Amino acid sequence: MNYYGLILIPIISALIGWFTNWIAIKMLFHPKIPIKIVGITFQGIFPKKQKQFAENLGKVVSNELLSFKEIEEKISNPNNVQKMMPLVEEHIDNFLRVKLTQQMPMISMFIGNKTIEQLKTVFITELQELFPKVMSNYMEKLQNDLDLEKIVTEKVNNFSSDKLEDILNSIMKKELKFVEILGGILGFIIGIFQVLITLII
């Protein structure tokens, strides 16, 4: 019995398993331009489905990942509004003490620290009530003016095949490499079974 031949079976099977998976992964992206062979058109899955992929991604981003409603709720949340109040108060204070005095010097004669503090309180209270309404109206207008689904769809659809491949490879590089290795491992295991069956027979 040729034991060298038996040893080669798992190794060859592993190489075949790895190579077939490597080819399958390459066929996700290549050929980038449709090629006809014996009347059959061959093209990589991603280049062929790029338009559909772009449309689906646009829908996912606009409906699931980035919701204008969620953004509105976040920025108009009372706790988030409160976090901005120190900065707002600082600007109001600077306006009342510096800018207003520079623009209208006569008013500084009638406005003291107590009046400034009272005005600040009034302004801040009013802004706390006004800000959520303003942001709600702004987000509604932004949603109408900004078609996020269309923007994402057009952007992805206009990617070159090379750029799309680079992006997907950067995201799935480890996973694709694992698929290649897994093909080799499965091929090796199948080769071992072939050897065992040969020995038993």
- Mean pLDDT estimate for the chain: 81
Question: Average pLDDT of 40-47?
Answer: 81
Q: How far apart are the C-alpha atoms of 116 and 15, rounded to whole Å?
A: 81
- Burial environment of residue 172 by CB neighbours within 10 A (0 to 12, 13 to 18, 19 or more): middle
* pLDDT reading at 19 higher than 90: yes
Q: How far apart are the C-alpha atoms of 61 and 148, rounded to whole Å?
A: 8
DSSP class per residue in 95-134: IIIIIHHHH-GGGGGT--HHHHHHHHHHHHHHHHHHHHHH
pLDDT confidence of residue 66:
67
Compare 184 and 170 and report the one with higher pLDDT.
Answer: 184
DSSP class per residue in 135-175: HHHHHHHHHHH--HHHHHHHHHHTS-HHHHHHHHHHHHHHH
Q: How far apart are the C-alpha atoms of 117 and 92, rounded to whole Å?
A: 10
Q: How far apart are the C-alpha atoms of 45 and 28, rounded to whole Å?
A: 5
Question: Of how many residues is the chain composed?
Answer: 201
pLDDT confidence of residue 119:
84
Q: How far apart are the C-alpha atoms of 7 and 192, rounded to whole Å?
A: 9
pLDDT confidence of residue 133:
79
Helices (H) and strands (E) in the chain, counts: 9, 2
Instruction: Provide the percentage of residues in the chain whose pLDDT is more than 90.
Output: 8
Peptide bond connecting 86 to the previous residue in cis, omega within 30 degrees of 0: no
Does the model's pTM come out above 0.85?
no
* pLDDT reading at 128 higher than 70: yes
Question: Average pLDDT of 52-62?
Answer: 80
pLDDT confidence of residue 3:
65
Q: How far apart are the C-alpha atoms of 26 and 111, rounded to whole Å?
A: 75
* CA distances for 8 relative to 21, 102, 168, angstroms: 20, 91, 36
Q: Quick: pLDDT tens for 102-127.
A: 777 777 677 778 888 888 888 888 88
CB atoms within 10 A of CB 120: 17
Q: Quick: pLDDT tens for 63-113.
A: 766 666 777 777 777 777 777 788 888 888 888 778 877 777 777 677 778
Residue 143's nearest CA partner among 78, 62, 85 is 62
Confidence of residue 42 (pLDDT cuts 50, 70, 90): confident
pLDDT confidence of residue 1:
53
